[in-house]
Structure formats: C-alpha cells, structure tokens
Amino acid sequence: MTKFTDLGLNPALLKALTAEGYETPTPIQAQAIPIVMAGRDLLGIAQTGTGKTAAFALPILHRLDATRKPAPKRGCRVLVLSPTRELASQIAESFRTYGKHLGFTVAVIFGGVKYGPQMKALATGVDILVATPGRLIDHLGEKNANLSEAEIFVLDEADQMLDLGFLQPIRRIVSHLPKQRTNLFFSATMPGEIGKLAGELLNDPAKVSVAPVGTTTERVDQKLIFVEAEYKRELLAELFADAKMSRTIVFTRTKRGADRVAKHLEACGVTAASIHGDKTQGQRERALAAFKAGSCRALVATDIAARGIDIDAVSHVVNFELPYVAEAYVHRIGRTARAGASGQAISLCADDERSLVRDIQRLTRQTIPAEDRRRDRGLAMMAKTTRELDRNAPPVSDDAPARGEANRNQRGRNRPQYQGRGGGGGAPRGEGGGAGGEGRQGPRGPRRGGPGKPRPAAGVAASAPAAQSGKPGWHPMDV
C-alpha cells in the first residue's frame, strides 16, 4: 500500500501530515500528487469526501518550495477558484495546515465582507490566493489584483461552478492569466460541459478518475420515504426523535424553504440553524461553528451553501426536497460517510418528485430502498395540531430581518442607485445586474455604462438584488 512517504514529498509536508495523523493517501491523492509534482495539467474526478483538496494542495506546496521566489505584488503564484465562501475558507485553511513549516502566504477572497483587508493582502502579493469568482473579478476590475505572473491555476468543484453559471466569469478570469501555466481541474462529477471547458483550457492533461459519474458513496445507507408534501415537516420532526441523528444536514431547494424548515425544527425542540446565500458571513460562520461543536443538531442548507461544509462527523443527510439535477444528489449524500466513517441518507419524496427519483436511480445505477408513509394518520394528526398552533400564534413575517439587520438593510435601500452595464438595472456600488458578471461596479464608485432597467420610483420597493445589497460587500455571484 502506498504511503505519503513513498510519493517524494517535501519533508516539511510529511512532518505536517504526520502531525495531522495522515499516513496513507486516498486513491485520488495517490494518483494525482505525482502528476502535479511533475508539472502536468490534470483533470481529476473523485466523489465528495475523497480528499481532492490535499490532492492538489500537497504537490503545489512541494513545487512552490522547489522554486522559491517572492510573490508578485498585487498578484499570486497560485490561484484557486472555489464556488462558495465556506469552501474557499476551508481550502485556504488546508494550505496553511499542510504548509505550516514552509512559510508561504495564503489569502482568501470572497464576497460578504469588506474590501479593505483583501486589498491590503493583495497589495504586497501572496503565494497562494483562494477566491470566489465574483469578488475576484471586482478586484481585477479595480486593478487591485494582477494575475499575469500566476504559475498554477486550480478550478475546484468545477461542475458546481458551471451549474451556478460561472462559465463566462471563469473565462474572464482566465484571460488575465499567463498562457504558460499549470491547470488543475477537480470535480465530483463529470458532466459534458466540464469536458468541453477542459478541452479549451487544459494542455494535454492527465485524467484521474477514482469514481465513475453518478457513483454514490459506498458507506452511505440510503433510504427513500414516500410522503405527502404537506406532511414532510411533521415526518422530519419525527425522524429527529432518533437520538442517532446527532449531526444532520437537511437539504432544501430554496433559501426561504431552508429558513422555514429550521424554524419548524426549533419549534419542535430540535436545535437547528439555516445556511444559504442570503445570510451574512457572520451568520453563516456562527451556524457552521455551532454545527461543528455539536450544539446544533440540524443544519438546514441549500445545495450552493453546502459545498463548503467539510465536517467528518455528519451522521445523517436528509433530502427534505429532492434536487432537480440528479448529480446534486451525489453531492448531497457525500456530506456524510466522510473520512472512512459510515452515514445514512434519507430522502422524503412527494408524488410530484417521483420523476426525480427515477433520474437519480438511473444516474447512480441503484434502486434505493423505499418506505411508504402516505395516508399516515399519525402524521395527519401532527399536521393538524401544527396548523392550529400556527393559527393561534401572533403573526410574524418570514421576511423580518434578524436582530441588528434592520438599520443595515434600510441603509442599503437608501443608497444611491447606479446603472450598470448589461441591462441589470440600478445596483449599488460593488454590485452589477448583468448576467455573467456584466455591469459589476467596483468598491470605489460607479462606472459609466449602458442603460439598464428603469430605476424604481420613489416609494417602490427595490429589486431583489438591490434589496440584498444591504449586506456589506454582498455580491450576487458569491453564494
């Protein structure tokens, strides 16, 4: 069996790995590390939880140490793109952990926070820059960042990047990179679009695949429960009566749905928190911290936000609503059964979701064991009691801002509105309304652009992106 000591890694990296208790590489690591160390482009396909981050972080650190030189001002030697803030933070932390004896600088850039510290970090240059596409494009537009001397480009979770519509932003960022560079693509699944993008950007890449498209985690015990849509909340609360569901991620399709499910679980005595793109960075970090510490049993998340959740001790995954895209099911259940542990995935299926089940089973080439809870009298009684309590409770708006948010949101609405390119309408500085990032304004003020949609008249509510702009540094692409 191959060990890290057999891969020819820098002794400082081996020392850090030993301190973390790592001796044996995962299959994706054992295959990818020698290829990246040799300087080749790579397309790596591995399911979630198999150690993709270390598969590129370790050989990159090895190469940086072998060719030490100062980081370029306003630039970086390595650029890693990530779809979400949480995943970007965890990738940066992995680089710091593995390279703690090498002394390389690592910076992370994403939306939802102030520009100042990021501009300061970029000014002197960093060895490794981990970023989300939207905020990085802002810094490039304001000339805060210069990628012309980057040596290695990593696109992590490439399939999710494409699902989120980041194809054009990725191409814009690549246009700032030098032609002579190493390109690394890592993904959990391999849709056709990834192969097309790889053909455009990769140069004679080596391909490493340790899990075929649609392969689900072997240690995950999957279960399907048929139930009426109106009784899903009651069934979910019933499932949490099992003490074994100590650390559970519940998936919903929408942000509002995540908030409603978390609110219902709290009302049933289950400690819960929701995490999605509309939450401030502080709210997301506090929710994740509580979940990791075990003080929160249920983390209700959307698919986008959950890409940054890398917690080994997740006991269960519950699909409160099945995903429209079958590949997302693989990502979801991959949140459990990590680091060699076992886990359970439970999917609640309403009648109008049966076609989604067929798509999932066709992709994974599995028949998921099912249980029928339709026309269940117990759930009907629970639902009736819940409805009566809801009717007697004082009215509370679903859109009521969290404590401390009201004044900030009001300030966001009172800001002057500017027209951005791309027809997205008026948007506050730091944002843009056009598709694919067009019309985005930098942190220092508006740019001149083409006409957008008419600005809302006095007394008329702002559009959804403008309403969200009350969050400092929020960017519609950094979800």
Q: What is the largest CA-CA distance in the chain?
A: 70
Claim: this prediction has a pTM higher than 0.75: no
The Cα–Cα gap between 125 and 472 comes to: 24
pLDDT (tens digit, 0 to 9) for every residue of the chain, 479 residues total? 589 999 999 999 999 999 988 889 988 999 999 999 999 999 988 766 678 899 999 999 999 999 999 999 999 999 999 988 888 998 999 999 999 999 999 999 998 889 999 999 999 999 999 999 999 999 999 999 999 999 999 998 887 787 777 888 998 999 999 999 999 998 777 677 777 888 888 999 999 987 655 555 667 899 999 999 999 999 999 999 999 999 999 999 999 999 999 999 999 999 999 998 788 878 888 998 899 888 999 999 988 766 656 677 889 999 999 998 887 888 788 888 776 667 899 999 999 999 999 999 988 888 999 999 999 988 988 888 877 766 665 554 444 444 333 343 343 434 333 333 333 333 333 333 333 333 344 444 444 444 444 444 433 333 333 333 344 444 444 44
What tokens does 442 get? 């930098």
Q: Is 263 exposed, middle or buried (0-12, 13-18, 19+ CB in 10 A)?
A: middle
Domains of the chain, each with CATH number or no CATH = 4-209 (3.40.50.300), 220-392 (3.40.50.300), 416-458 (no CATH)
Number of residues that make up the chain: 479
Report the candidate in 149, 442, 386 with the shortest Cα–Cα distance to residue 261. 386
Residue 442 per-residue DSSP state: B
CA dist list (Å): 58 to 25, 35, 128: 11, 12, 12
Report the candidate in 150, 383, 353 with the shortest Cα–Cα distance to residue 252. 353
- Cβ count within 10 A of residue 180: 7
Give residue-wise pLDDT tens across range 100-128: 999 999 999 998 889 999 999 999 999 99
The Cα–Cα gap between 300 and 302 comes to: 7
Residue 445 per-residue DSSP state: B
What b/e readout covers 442-471, taking b as 16+ CB neighbours within 10 angstroms? bbeebbebeebeebeeeeeebbebbebbbb
Q: Map tokens 């929710």 to a residue.
A: 287
Q: What is the pLDDT of residue 361?
A: 92
